[in-house]
Amino acid sequence: MKLIVGLGNPGGQYKDSRHNIGYMVVDKLAREIGRQGLVWERDEKRNAETARVGDVILVKPLTFMNNSGIAVKKLVDYYKISPRDVWVIHDDIDLPIGKLKIREGGGTAGHNGIESIMKFLGTDGFMRFRLGIGRGREDVKKGTDQNLRHRAVINFVLSRFTLSEAGSLRKLIKYGVAAVRMALTDGVDKAMNRFN
């Protein structure tokens, strides 16, 4: 069984934000691998929306990004899934827009959703599908107060993709879905060789 978690924030104001690229990928994945009429079900006990196709459970945590680990841990415990079978799809500002990287384990790279999942699972031993959203133009100078730099990053990840980025966004979602599908059918190593 695989738990495929798309990270994002619930609510209409975040729907098309860069931080919600994980939601966008699992939504498209659900449409592609799901039977006709597959619907997301709200699981109040586990703070998530889920859609199940065979032994694959697609997840959108409803705990907001910084507390994603709460929902993931509850689902891991409920379905008795090993952390190694948890695949997390998330935005990554350290990758150029449109770039995809797959890896197991490692640090958080400052991503609060990944940090929360590591904290609640007690391990970094889960798969990450990192989707590049770029950094945008930084409006703060080097040596500027760290809090100001941090706020600039938050504003950027919560911003929407621009019209000029629409093609890169479509490609990124398409690649994200293709990478997860290949990992499911042919194994993660083959997906890494193809997409990394």
Q: Where are the alpha helices (DSSP H) in 80-145?
A: 112-121
Q: Is 150 a catalytic residue?
A: no
**Count of alpha carbons within 13 Å of 95, Cβ hemisphere only?**
20
Question: Considering 19, 90, 111, 150, which one is annotated as catalytic?
Answer: 19
Residue 187, phi-psi category: left (phi > 0), alpha (psi -120 to 50), beta (remainder): left
Q: Two tokens at 164?
A: 């000029």
Question: What is the maximum span of the chain, computed from C-alpha positions, in angstroms?
Answer: 54
Q: Two tokens at 189?
A: 């190593």
Go through the chain and tell me how many residues it has: 196
Q: Where are the alpha helices (DSSP H) in 122-162?
A: 146-157
Tell me the C-alpha distance between 37 and 49, whole Å: 16
Give the catalytic positions in this structure.
19
